[in-house]
A and B are shown apart, each in its own frame.
Chain A
Amino acid sequence: MLHKKFLPLYVTSLLFALLFLAGSIQFENFGTLRVFMNLFTDNAFLIIVAIGMTFVILSGGIDLSVGSTIALSGVIIGVLLEAGWHPLPAFAVVLVLGTLFGAVMGAIIHYYQLQPFIVTLAGMFFARGLSSVISEESIPIMHEFYDDVAMFGFELPGGAWLGSSTIIALTVLVLAVMLANFTRFGGRVYGLGGDTHSAALMGVPIARTTIAVYALSSFLAALAGIVFSFYTFSGYSLAAVGVELDAIAAVVIGGTLLTGGYGYVVGTLFGVLIMGVVQTYISFDGTLSSWWTKIVIGLLLFIFIAMQRFLVRR
């Protein structure tokens, strides 16, 4: 059943299917389960961050701090492991700190009525600055547990691989969809983004919801930092520069309205996958240079934003 309110979602998933199909027709070995699964493996951390960003944007805000939060998480994990900690308690510390960081930003945004963009910009400087104060050099991570987790996964037909980061990302996705669409909190986030004033009149606790949204985004950014450290086996203060922009782009391409109040978490997944497919296409082609990725993503952003305008006007 085609429902009009899901229109952007259809467009996004259709675009992904078309791009994947185009690649499969043009290149041998493109249209395989292996390439498809690699989209998840390579972008698991981006999926996680972009899901957090979806909630923030749904609530009518924006979070520019997520890239540096990823870097900060990696650096803290690196330092704690160097000090002889087991990764699991280190992860717990990073997740709690991340959540607190987001909550503080949310509180400043709400109580001082400041623009989310400038507050999270300060947060971005803060997290990036703190990571370089902790360590300017990349800290190598060496631990049996890391090897075990990185190796963990399931072999799928055709040499495809369902790895631990993909499993984490998909778990986050399922939980996020439930949180957004089947809980009271989710409804409040949509309400907040739709019209803050009406939401307040209808009894949405604005303060608590705003703080929770930014706490959730930073929590997921910290989790993404953990997943990111499984790829790089290091913590580096200059890691994940510009990831916040990729995440915002994925959310927009995924059909979420930047003014808030409308959009779907699943759309964001397709947004990330579309960006991944463009990248894969360019690397398969070999003659196209990597900067085309940026230009194509810019074009996609433009098309989707123009489409949003058109939809809203109607």
Chain B
Amino acid sequence: MGYKDLSPLVRRSIWPLLGLAVLLLANVLIAPEFFSVEIKDGRLYGSLIDVMNRAAPVALLAIGMTLVIATGGIDLSVGSVMAIAGAVSAGLIVSGVDNIALVVGGGLLAGVAAGFVNGFLVGYFGIQPIVATLILMVAGRGIAQLINSGQIVTFHHDAFEFLGVGYFFGLPFPIVLVVIAFVLVQLLMRRTALGMFVEGVGANASASHHIGINDKLIKLMVYCVSGLCAALAGMIAAADIGGSDANNAGLWLELDAILAVVIGGASLMGGRFSVFLSIIGALIIQTLTITIILSGVPPKFNLLIKAAAIVIILLLQSPEFHRQVARLKKKRGPKHAS
């Protein structure tokens, strides 16, 4: 059976999965103990668990970003929203709020509010997504600093820190959160018609509007989901270090999140999406980082390798590139008479 006989779903999934497999294989070859997972005190330990744990914030961002990109948008503000949510939770804790539901709820509310602003600007104001979310990307870090008057707030709160360092059924809690978020979004998108609406708006917003889809509301919703995911990622980051740093929390993670979605095979023009493949994309980014470290290449090459990876993936997705390759193949002599 040739590549062309595969169903579109398999064809789309095969490249990201193959990429991850190759990277994992490379890691095992470099460091044979890479796959070993041990259980200590009922907790799982090992490089593989570590990769997943560290990929969790970007994976969460990627879940929200996937939906935004599926509508043909982009959310540049997620890094700043992470900082805002972390600052809100930290601020609540140091001001004496002990109830974990209030602390987490406050952070999530901040994320939804940020998403609402983005979604409103994009959906109802009709502003280009890059620009609309740029506003919060720039102002968001200022707002995060404003919340705690420019201080780096540190705190100690067992229940909140559980978000970042806790274990649940032997797994680090961030991984569990990613799984929960994935299942929820997947149910919402694939068990209802929402997923189809999102893809419809991304493929052709005005056509969707004419067949009765409320395209503005759909856009508002995806940015709210993205804000929610970013808030969760921000609280994990804050809980992980036991403090909120408005300047550095989630810095440049919006780029990693976009990259994860692109690696997952989604088109930036919108349309079809797969949340699962975006999470695979986040895992690929984290595994690549580990591969670079394991193989002894100095970490300063990280960004260069990432840049090369983006260009290669973009070219592989470009129809024009396929045409050029096809032309090259033809020049070398056609194999098939047809």
Q: Size of chain B's interface in residues, with CB distance under 8 A? A: 46
- Interface positions, chain B 281-338, Cβ under 8 Å from A, are 300-308, 310-311, 314-315, 318-321
**Nearest A-chain residue to B131, judged by Cβ:** A258
For residue B134, CB closer than 8 A to chain A, the reply is yes
Residues of A within 8 A of B142 (CB): 291-295, 298
Binding site for B on A (CB under 8 A): 62, 108, 111-115, 117-119, 121-123, 125-126, 128-130, 132-133, 136, 245, 248-249, 252, 258-259, 289, 291-295, 297-299, 301-302, 305-306, 309
The number of inter-chain residue pairs (CB within 8 angstroms) is 112
CB distance from A279 to the nearest CB of B (A): 13
CB distance from B232 to the nearest CB of A (A): 23
Are A122 and B310 neighbours in the complex by a CB distance under 8 Å? yes
Given contacts A112-B318, A245-B138, contact A118 B310 (CB under 8 A): yes
Residues of A within 8 A of B135 (CB): 298, 301-302, 305
Are B304 and A130 neighbours in the complex by a CB distance under 8 Å? yes
Residues of B within 8 A of A117 (CB): 74, 130
Given contacts A122-B311, A129-B303, A309-B126, contact A252 B131 (CB under 8 A): yes
Binding site for A on B (CB under 8 A): 74, 121, 125-128, 130-132, 134-143, 145-146, 149-150, 246, 255, 258, 262, 268-269, 300-308, 310-311, 314-315, 318-321
CB distance from B297 to the nearest CB of A (A): 10
Residues of A within 8 A of B307 (CB): 122-123, 125-126, 129
Are A301 and B138 neighbours in the complex by a CB distance under 8 Å? yes
User: Quick one: which of A122, A123, A136 contacts B300, CB cutoff 8 A?
Assistant: A136
Are A125 and B303 neighbours in the complex by a CB distance under 8 Å? yes
Are B320 and A245 neighbours in the complex by a CB distance under 8 Å? no
Residues of B within 8 A of A62 (CB): 130
**Nearest A-chain residue to B142, judged by Cβ:** A294
**Nearest B-chain residue to A290, judged by Cβ:** B150
Q: Pick the most buried of A62, A126, A136: most chain B CB atoms within 10 A of its CB.
A: A126
**CA–CA, A43 and B143, complex, Å:** 24
The 8 closest A-B pairs by CB, nearest first: A298-B139, A129-B303, A294-B142, A129-B304, A125-B307, A126-B307, A291-B145, A295-B142
Are A258 and B314 neighbours in the complex by a CB distance under 8 Å? no
Are A133 and B146 neighbours in the complex by a CB distance under 8 Å? no
Residues of A within 8 A of B320 (CB): 111-113
**CA–CA, A302 and B117, complex, Å:** 11
CB distance from A234 to the nearest CB of B (A): 18
CB distance from B9 to the nearest CB of A (A): 24
Are B134 and A129 neighbours in the complex by a CB distance under 8 Å? no
5 new A-B contacts at CB < 8 Å, known A112-B314, A129-B307, A291-B145 = A122-B311, A125-B307, A129-B301, A133-B300, A294-B141
Q: Pick the most buried of B131, B262, B308, B315: most chain A CB atoms within 10 A of its CB.
A: B131
CB distance from A97 to the nearest CB of B (A): 16
Q: Pick the most buried of B138, B269, B302: most chain A CB atoms within 10 A of its CB.
A: B138
Are B321 and A112 neighbours in the complex by a CB distance under 8 Å? yes
Are B145 and A289 neighbours in the complex by a CB distance under 8 Å? yes
Are A118 and B143 neighbours in the complex by a CB distance under 8 Å? no
CB distance from B247 to the nearest CB of A (A): 9
Residues of B within 8 A of A252 (CB): 131
**CA–CA, A294 and B262, complex, Å:** 29
Are A115 and B318 neighbours in the complex by a CB distance under 8 Å? no
Given contacts A129-B306, A132-B303, A306-B125, contact A295 B143 (CB under 8 A): yes
**CA–CA, A111 and B137, complex, Å:** 30
Are B310 and A298 neighbours in the complex by a CB distance under 8 Å? no
Q: Can you name 19 A-B residue pairings with CB atoms under 8 Å?
A: A62-B130, A112-B320, A112-B321, A115-B269, A118-B314, A119-B314, A122-B310, A125-B304, A126-B303, A126-B308, A129-B300, A129-B303, A129-B304, A132-B300, A245-B137, A294-B141, A294-B145, A298-B139, A301-B134
Given contacts A292-B142, A309-B126, contact A298 B136 (CB under 8 A): yes
Residues of A within 8 A of B303 (CB): 125-126, 128-129, 132
Residues of A within 8 A of B125 (CB): 306, 309
Are B131 and A305 neighbours in the complex by a CB distance under 8 Å? yes
Are A299 and B139 neighbours in the complex by a CB distance under 8 Å? yes
**CA–CA, A180 and B286, complex, Å:** 44
**Nearest B-chain residue to A301, judged by Cβ:** B135
**CA–CA, A130 and B305, complex, Å:** 10
**CA–CA, A121 and B255, complex, Å:** 8
Residues of A within 8 A of B141 (CB): 291, 294
Residues of B within 8 A of A132 (CB): 300, 303
Are B146 and A295 neighbours in the complex by a CB distance under 8 Å? yes
Residues of B within 8 A of A302 (CB): 135
Are A289 and B138 neighbours in the complex by a CB distance under 8 Å? no
**CA–CA, A123 and B311, complex, Å:** 9
Are A259 and B138 neighbours in the complex by a CB distance under 8 Å? no
**Nearest B-chain residue to A237, judged by Cβ:** B300
User: Quick one: which of A112, A128, A133, A294 contacts B139, CB cutoff 8 A?
Assistant: A294
Residues of B within 8 A of A121 (CB): 255, 258, 310
**CA–CA, A245 and B138, complex, Å:** 8
Given contacts A292-B142, A294-B141, A298-B135, contact A112 B315 (CB under 8 A): yes
Q: Pick the most buried of A126, A249, A294: most chain B CB atoms within 10 A of its CB.
A: A294
